[in-house]
Amino acid sequence: MEHHLATSAERADYLVELSNIARDTSIGPRGPRSLRRLGLVLRALMELTRDPDVSVYLVADSSLLGGHREFGDQAEVRRLRGWVADGLVEEVDDADERVLDLARMTATPVITGDQYVDHRAEHPWIQGNTWQFLRPEARPDGSVTLVAMDMGVRSAAEISRKMELSALKKQGLLGPSRTPLTDVIMQSWRCPEPRCSLYDIRRGDRILLPRMRRGVPTCELHGTPLENDGPRLGTTQLKAVIDGTCVARYTLDEGSEAYVGRLPGPAGIALHSLLSPQVAQQVSRRHLAVSARNGTVLIRDISTYGTRMRRTGKRGGFGPWEALPPQTDRPFRPGDEVELAPGVVLTRSGRRFPAELADAWRTQAAHTPMTPIAAAPTRRA
């Protein structure tokens, strides 16, 4: 296989996310990790290109060798370490991000099974891409073929959910079956170092989730166990979208209610400065009431002119617009959209706060692989 391994991306015909391929149990031998899967991919690549000297540049997460005991053949571990030492594998903390950076800069095709949904905010060129990504697919005889992937277009809510699932994974906050450790996420934490405000909601503008180390919530900066500071207050993020562009973001705390409208009064969300005079005339002074109660966000139409709502599905598509019944609370879920006037939309971020997170994973973990974390409050007037 070494004959096909390039020492730089510029010299390679294809990029390979080795961590993804070595862990792909749908191809090759049994077991969680194997380099033999790379051999199958290389043979498929020679068949596809009809080039016996086709070259690839390998990028791997450091966690691939970190879990060396999961390789069925320890000779493969020694071989992989040799590749890293010889510059035939670029070992990084986040292989996804490195592969995408290289693919964007060089336009080199990528062999992977990953849809990179959580990276589409930083790499919008992935959306709708039908030519640059190939996935390995097993044939009945055990060989592998490479199939072009249609990356599709994912909604902002779905991208946000996947980004936050990745954040949970990075912090070690995913348990068995990739379910979040809600008993940790739903608590506030405090570093025993008096000057550290990374986790203190009373002192910090951006509140981090703890990193789990040996099963203990730990400070990212000081490496010391964190102290439990009681239940984490829920927050949810609302976005004002005018003519398809997000122009403002707001946060709503658990147990609170806010009015949204043209000029709703103190502590409300005023849209007057964001609207043209013609559009502002179609928005009531108090148009909507949004509340967060027991981990559920509710929306209520209190307007003179009426309000429409459409819901987002699990795969990001929208249902039809429907008139909101006046003076009636309706659930307002991540990705849902409420239209106050033509071109004036209030939507929810894809992020959920802890109570929603726990409930979603209790009821949907077996069906939905995408789950977010609690958003840190970021207030904007």
For 176-208, give the DSSP string: GGG-B-HHHHTEEEE-SSTT--SS-TTT-SSPP
User: What is the token pair recorded at 232?
Assistant: 């984490």
End-to-end CA distance of the chain: 58
Closest CA to 381 of 229, 212, 248: 248
Q: Does domain 235-348 have CATH number 3.50.50.60?
A: no
User: What is the token pair recorded at 276?
Assistant: 């043209």
H-run or E-run covering 367: none
Distance of alpha carbon 215 from alpha carbon 192, whole angstroms: 18
How confident is the prediction along the chain (381 residues), in pLDDT tens digits per residue? 889 999 989 889 999 999 999 999 999 998 899 999 999 999 999 999 999 999 999 999 988 988 888 898 899 999 999 999 999 999 998 899 999 999 988 889 999 999 998 888 888 899 999 999 999 999 999 999 999 999 998 877 677 677 767 777 778 887 766 677 878 877 888 899 988 888 765 554 456 778 888 889 999 888 899 998 887 766 777 888 898 887 887 878 778 899 999 999 887 889 999 999 999 999 999 999 999 887 788 999 999 999 999 987 655 568 889 999 999 999 998 778 999 999 999 988 765 555 555 455 444 433 433 333 233 333 333
Decide: 316 and 158 in contact? Cβ < 8 Å. Answer: yes
Counting runs of H as helices and runs of E as strands, what totals does the chain give? 9, 21
Contacts (Cβ under 8 Å, ≥6 apart) of 273:
none
Distance of alpha carbon 33 from alpha carbon 54, whole angstroms: 24
3 state SS of 145: strand
For 244-276, give the DSSP string: TEEEEEEEEETT-EEEEESS--TTSEE-GGGS-
Closest CA to 132 of 154, 116, 150: 150
User: What is the token pair recorded at 366?
Assistant: 């077996």
Distance of alpha carbon 212 from alpha carbon 350, whole angstroms: 24
Distance of alpha carbon 144 from alpha carbon 148, whole angstroms: 13
Distance of alpha carbon 38 from alpha carbon 21, whole angstroms: 6
Please state which architecture CATH assigns to domain 2-148: 3-Layer(aba) Sandwich (3.40)
State the DSSP code for 147.
E
Domain ranges of the chain: 2-148, 156-232, 235-348
Q: 2-148 with 235-348: one CATH topology?
A: no
Q: Which residues pair with 260 in a beta bridge?
A: 269, 288
Distance of alpha carbon 334 from alpha carbon 156, whole angstroms: 10
Distance of alpha carbon 183 from alpha carbon 143, whole angstroms: 44
User: What is the token pair recorded at 60?
Assistant: 């791997």
Distance of alpha carbon 90 from alpha carbon 316, whole angstroms: 34
